[in-house]
Structure formats: structure tokens, C-alpha cells
């Protein structure tokens, strides 16, 4: 039986992926050289369409990396000499902080309980901070930070800002002029197989990495910003990249542009309302994040009071797969992804199977 994957990543593939995959194989994309014209065209086109879809200005470069955990590591290596500042409210934001420690920096964190949000602009950030790190959508808890707060953070702090939008892209609509580093992986909202992360970097962040490099700070090897830039100028990557994934990303970006990003974002709003309304009225199961301001619309977390296993089994027998809670929430929570690949009909199906008792 074919399952419907409401998992938080990898997730349901975008409906057109199957036919794009076939075309890719028919065109030998698994065998072409990553130093030839055919690849350069794919690279160029993927960047152009991604720029269009997410309204990324020319002041920001786009890099192809292997995963978002890699993006976190590269950001710290290339933009921080000593001190970064981290907003932590779950597993992924904590990883970002931890990576800075492992890389021998001296990160500082503001930490709240899992499932809580924070008013970014009310928190005191130390003077020596070089980079502020924000996980906009914390996939481990279903808490997200309102975009207007992120857009305002530079008004109060004239430092670099990095934002993890791994499980909220392409839903979130950023003002890139207010942010320096943004990253996501393709296996979540873009509905593609895993193995590619996109890192978007401002001129200002590039300048910082140049400064650190001149100073002799260790910034890794083949994926330092300077080597990515050098190859990027000729539409290539330093290593042999995931050509297939870059190709598929380009095709799916084109499909999303044809559909219209506004339409896609509106559908996500409507589907999230459907799910939250259902659980707000449920006699037993409740949305985990109490404050609606901080509720993620793309990764919806429900407290099912110890019945996660029972629900997962029930859904599975109807061909529906959702995520269990993350880590310590495994038995008590379920997580439902709401990405562009998920249709309203399938949300109705999901809700009907869970039911009110």
C-alpha cells in the first residue's frame, strides 16, 4: 500500500518528483561531470528559480551543502571568532549552540522550556556577540518564532543574524535585508529526498569570513565560504555535489512558481487552521504549544497523553504516517507536518481516522 507521509522530515514527496526523477535518469544525470556545461546550467537555473521563489536579493549568495547540521557548523566556523548567542527552546536550537562549543568558541545561550517561545527583542544580548542564532521553527517541539520579531532584531543589535528555517521553508516569507544567514534542507518543506542543504549568505557575512580568514582563524577546508564562492563564480561546487538533488530542487521550484508561492502559503495556513481547530476541540488531545502566537503552522505538535503509539498504529493501518514526539516526548506527543506536498483532502482523512474518541 502507498502511504501518505505527514512526517516532519523526510516527508511526503512533492507530487511531481516521480516524473522529474524519471527524466533525470533518462538524461543520465547520475553520470554527468560536475565540471561540465550541463551541470553548470542546472546549478545556475536552480539558483535563479530559488531566488525567484523565496525573493532572495542579489546581496545574498546561495550555497549548496550536504545537510543543515553542516550549515550550522559552516556558519559558526566562517562567521564567529569567539562568541555567538543562541536562542534555545528544543533539540535543534540546542545543537546549534553545542556545535559552537565543540568548535571551541564561547557561545552564550538564552534557554526556555521545550514548547515555549520567546520575545526576541526583550532578551538582553551580550555586547561581545558576533552572531545571533535563531531556530525559527523548532521541529522538536512545534514552537515557532514570529517573523516580525526576527525582522526587527537588527534594529536593536548591529551584529550578524543566522536563522534556521529547515522545517518552515518555503512557507516563511523573510525580509532578507534584515538577516545574514538562512538555511534549510530539502527533505522537509520542499518534498524531496534528503541529502542537500541550502545556505543563503549576505555580503556582510562573507566580509566577516574574509576578515577571519585573513586573521588566520581556522574555518574548515573545502566548504569554507571562500572556496564555495570561488567555485560558485563558475557555477560549480568544491566537491562532487548531489547533482540529482540540485536538479530535482530546480524542477520543484519551477512547479511551485507555476502554482504560485502565495497560493502555497495560503493552503498551509488553511490546513493548519483545520488541524488546530480539530485538536482545540478534542476532548483528550491538545496542541502542545499553548500560546497560539508561538504555534508552528508547518510542524504541528499534539500532546496525546501517552497514546502516541496507539494513534501511530491506528493511522498506519489507514496508510497514514505521522512523526512521534521527539526524544523525551516520544510516548506523549505526535507531530504532523504541514508542507506544500500535503493536500487538504489528506488532512481531512487524517482527522477522520484520529476522530473524537
Ligand X SMILES: *Cc1c(COP(=O)(O)O)cnc(C)c1O
Q: Where on the chain is the footprint of ligand X (CB under 6 A)?
A: 9, 67-69, 92, 135, 137, 139, 164, 166-167, 185, 197
- Neighbouring CB atoms inside 10 A of 129's CB total 19
> Nearer to ligand X by C-beta: 105 or 335?
335
Compute the least distance from the CB of residue 135 to ligand X, in Å: 5
Compute the least distance from the CB of residue 137 to ligand X, in Å: 6
Grid cell at residue 244: 540529482
Compute the least distance from the CB of residue 84 to ligand X, in Å: 16
Listed residue (295, 310, 303) closest to 328, CA to CA: 303
Compute the least distance from the CB of residue 96 to ligand X, in Å: 8
> Nearer to ligand X by C-beta: 167 or 338?
167
> Nearer to ligand X by C-beta: 8 or 212?
8
Compute the least distance from the CB of residue 184 to ligand X, in Å: 8
CB 245, CB 196: distance < 8 Å? yes
Torsion over CA: 294, 108, 74, 179 (sign): positive
Compute the least distance from the CB of residue 72 to ligand X, in Å: 7
Torsion over CA: 214, 220, 224, 227 (sign): positive
> Nearer to ligand X by C-beta: 142 or 232?
142
> Nearer to ligand X by C-beta: 9 or 287?
9
CA dist 347 and 323 (Å) reads 15
Compute the least distance from the CB of residue 164 to ligand X, in Å: 5
> Nearer to ligand X by C-beta: 42 or 145?
145
> Nearer to ligand X by C-beta: 73 or 354?
73
The greatest distance separating any two alpha carbons of the chain, rounded to the nearest whole angstrom, comes to: 64
- Neighbouring CB atoms inside 10 A of 5's CB total 20
- The number of CA neighbours under 13 Å toward the Cβ of 152 is 10
Listed residue (221, 15, 176, 172) closest to 184, CA to CA: 172
The gap between the terminal CA atoms of the chain, to the nearest Å, is 26
CA dist 151 and 179 (Å) reads 7
- The number of CA neighbours under 13 Å toward the Cβ of 269 is 8
Amino acid at each position: 500500500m502507498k502511504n501518505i507521509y505527514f512526517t516532519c522530515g523526510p516527508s511526503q514527496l512533492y507530487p511531481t518528483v516521480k516524473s522529474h526523477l524519471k527524466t533525470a535518469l533518462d538524461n543520465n544525470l547520475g553520470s554527468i561531470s560536475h565540471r561540465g556545461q550541463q551541470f553548470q546550467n542546472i546549478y545556475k537555473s536552480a539558483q535563479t528559480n530559488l531566488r525567484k521563489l523565496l525573493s532572495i536579493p542579489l546581496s545574498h549568495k546561495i550555497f549548496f551543502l550536504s545537510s543543515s547540521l553542516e550549515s550550522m557548523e559552516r556558519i559558526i566556523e566562517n562567521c564567529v571568532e569567539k562568541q555567538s548567542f543562541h536562542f534555545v527552546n528544543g533539540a535543534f536550537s540546542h545543537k546549534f549552540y553545542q556545535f559552537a562549543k565543540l568548535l571551541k568558541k564561547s557561545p552564550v545561550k538564552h534557554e526556555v522550556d521545550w514548547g515555549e517561545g520567546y520575545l526576541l527583542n526583550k532578551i538582553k544580548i551580550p555586547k561581545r556577540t558576533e552572531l545571533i542564532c535563531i531556530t525559527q521553527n523548532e521541529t522538536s517541539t512545534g514552537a515557532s518564532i514570529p517573523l516580525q520579531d526576527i525582522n526587527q532584531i537588527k534594529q536593536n543589535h548591529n551584529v550578524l543574524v543566522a536563522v534556521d528555517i529547515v522545517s518552515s521553508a518555503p512557507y516563511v516569507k523573510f525580509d532578507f535585508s534584515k538577516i545574514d544567514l538562512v538555511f534549510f534542507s530539502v527533505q522537509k518543506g520542499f518534498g524531496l529526498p534528503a541529502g542537500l542543504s541550502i545556505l543563503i549568505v549576505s555580503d556582510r557575512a562573507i566580509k566577516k569570513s574574509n576578515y577571519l580568514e585573513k586573521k588566520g582563524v581556522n574555518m574548515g577546508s573545502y566548504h569554507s565560504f571562500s572556496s564555495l564562492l570561488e567555485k560558485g563564480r563558475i557555477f560549480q561546487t568544491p566537491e562532487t555535489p548531489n547533482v540529482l538533488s540540485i536538479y530535482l530542487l530546480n524542477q520543484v521550484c519551477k512547479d511551485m512558481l507555476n502554482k504560485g508561492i502565495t497560493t502555497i502559503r495560503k493552503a498551509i495556513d488553511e490546513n493548519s487552521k483545520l488541524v488546530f481547530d480539530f485538536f482545540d476541540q478534542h476532548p483528550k488531545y491538545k496542541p502542545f504549544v499553548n500560546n497560539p502566537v508561538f504555534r508552528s503552522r508547518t510542524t504541528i505538535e499534539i500532546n496525546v497523553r501517552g497514546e502516541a503509539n496507539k494513534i501511530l498504529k491506528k493511522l498506519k493501518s489507514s496508510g497514514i504516517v505521522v512523526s512521534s514526539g521527539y526524544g523525551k516526548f516520544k510516548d506523549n506527543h505526535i507531530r504532523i507536518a504541514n508542507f506544500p506536498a500535503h493536500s487538504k483532502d489528506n488532512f481531512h482523512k487524517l482527522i477522520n481516522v484520529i476522530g473524537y474518541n
